[in-house]
């Protein structure tokens, strides 16, 4: 079995109204910038390593060989980071979303598939809403987009659990600055219907406190543009069921006309349709959803979580 590929090249890119931002490029930038490119944003209480680990997972091997990943690392959120200066003002969530396009311009990337987790899902949606011509589509996990209720507890849980491969932990003071900026974010729920003109796939863990927000946001988006998948028996699909997320990502990308010949090596377990128009309890295969708009599914997590 091939070992996970964690290699990434760091860049520091100065963004208007935000300041310097670290971006870790995974893959051959010169060879792959014209192909399929993923732009990832992590959440509060996690780091870019969460997406780096996912991209390096064995379930992502076929995608990784064909694609380029741009992993955004928000200020002070790297494992083992020193305290941000006391007078440091964490950039606003809206400003970050608006100015992520600077990364694409700097690296000469035309379009991306946006990937976001938690607060990062909120940020990547804002980016895509502000720059719809620069995205093929957006896949978000455990979207926290409606209110701040429960956000503090979610972030606390992530800080408690997060540990990197070399044992370093996140700087809790820095995470608090990110968390505070996130809680002050501008509302975007009422903007979703007008500003989302691209395909969105929302994934959430059935046991996550984000299920309610995800469902509320999904209902606000124009019918036919947004689909939702609930992964059973997990809180964090990215960490607990990366194979399920990889499976959904392949189908979502192929629905956009990307990577049509990729080898689907993940399991083909049947899934039960959840609240979809096809009728409750109907058994369906993931291959039935090889379209831009995957219907809402309830997926069973793998039996043995790594």
Q: How large a percentage of the chain has pLDDT more than 70?
A: 76
Looking at residues 144-166, what average pLDDT do you find?
55
84's tokens: 């941000």
Return the pLDDT at 9.
95
Give bridge partners of residue 114 from the DSSP assignment. Answer: 39, 138
Pairing of strands 297-300, 226-232: parallel
Q: Is 252:139 a contact under the CB 8 Å cutoff?
A: yes
For residue 162, pLDDT beyond 60: no
pLDDT computed for residue 220 by the predictor:
95
- Tell me the C-alpha distance between 123 and 134, whole Å: 15
Any idea which of 3-12, 46-55, 74-83, 244-253 has the lowest mean pLDDT? Answer: 3-12
**Average pLDDT of span 212-227:** 94
pLDDT tens digits along 25-40: 999 999 999 999 999 9
List the domain boundaries for the chain: 9-300
Q: Which two tokens stand for residue 11?
A: 């860049």
* Mean pLDDT of the region 239-252: 96
Q: Which residues pair with 199 in a beta bridge?
A: 137
**What average pLDDT score do residues 166-181 get?**
87
The token pair that represents 92 in the structure block:
């606003």
Choice among 8-12, 28-32, 166-170, 233-237 with the minimum mean pLDDT: 166-170
How many other C-beta atoms are found inside a 10 Å radius of the C-beta of residue 117? 30
Do residues 169 and 163 lie in contact, with contact meaning Cβ atoms separated by under 8 Å? yes
**Of the candidates 95, 120, 110, 98, the residue with the CA atom closest to the CA atom of residue 40:** 120
Tell me the per-residue pLDDT of 90-129, one tens digit each, with 9 for 90 and over.
999 999 999 999 999 999 999 999 999 999 999 999 999 9
Three-class SS state of 34: coil
Distance CA 49, CA 53 (A): 6
Strand partners, 103: none
Q: Per CATH, is 9-300 categorized as 3.40.50.1820?
A: yes
Per residue in 68-92, pLDDT (tens digit) is 999 999 999 999 999 999 899 999 9
The pLDDT value given to residue 55: 95
Residue 265 has pLDDT above 90, yes or no: no
Q: What is the rounded distance in angstroms from the CA atom of residue 45 to the CA atom of residue 138?
A: 22
CB atoms within 10 A of CB 30: 8
Residue owning tokens 């990215």: 238
Inter-residue contact 232 to 301 (CB < 8 Å): yes
What is the average pLDDT across 12-21? Answer: 94
Cα–Cα distance for residue pair 122/114, rounded to 1 Å: 11
What spatial distance separates the first Cα and last Cα of the chain, rounded to whole Å?
A: 15
State pLDDT tens for residues 278-297: 333 323 333 333 333 444 34
């Amino acid at each position: 079995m091939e070992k996970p590929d964690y290699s990434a090249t760091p860049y520091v890119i100065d963004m208007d109204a935000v300041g310097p931002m670290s971006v870790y490029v995974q893959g051959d930038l010169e060879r792959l910038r014209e192909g399929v490119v993923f732009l990832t944003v992590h959440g509060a209480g996690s780091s870019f390593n969460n997406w780096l680990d996912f991209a390096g997972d064995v379930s992502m091997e076929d995608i990784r060989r064909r694609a380029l990943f741009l992993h955004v690392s928000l200020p002070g959120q790297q494992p083992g980071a020193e305290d941000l200066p006391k007078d440091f003002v964490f950039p606003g969530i809206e400003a970050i979303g608006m100015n992520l396009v600077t990364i694409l311009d700097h690296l000469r990337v035309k379009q991306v598939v946006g990937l976001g987790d938690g607060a990062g899902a909120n940020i990547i949606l804002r980016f895509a809403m502000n720059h719809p011509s620069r995205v093929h589509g957006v896949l978000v996990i455990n979207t926290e987009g409606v209110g701040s209720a429960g956000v503090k507890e979610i972030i606390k849980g992530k800080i408690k659990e997060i540990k990197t491969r070399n044992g370093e932990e996140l700087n809790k003071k820095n995470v608090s600055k990110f968390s505070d900026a996130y809680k002050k974010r501008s509302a975007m729920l009422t903007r979703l219907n007008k500003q989302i003109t691209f395909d969105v796939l929302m994934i959430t863990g059935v046991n996550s406190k984000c299920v309610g927000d995800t469902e509320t946001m999904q209902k606000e988006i124009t019918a036919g543009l947004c689909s939702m998948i609930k992964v059973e028996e997990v809180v964090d699909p990215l960490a607990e069921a990366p194979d399920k997320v990889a499976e959904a990502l392949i189908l979502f990308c192929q629905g956009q006309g990307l990577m049509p010949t990729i080898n689907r090596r993940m399991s083909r377990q049947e899934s039960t349709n959840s609240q979809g128009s096809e009728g409750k309890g109907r058994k369906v295969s993931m291959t039935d959803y090889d379209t831009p708009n995957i219907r809402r599914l309830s997926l069973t997590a793998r039996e043995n979580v790594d």
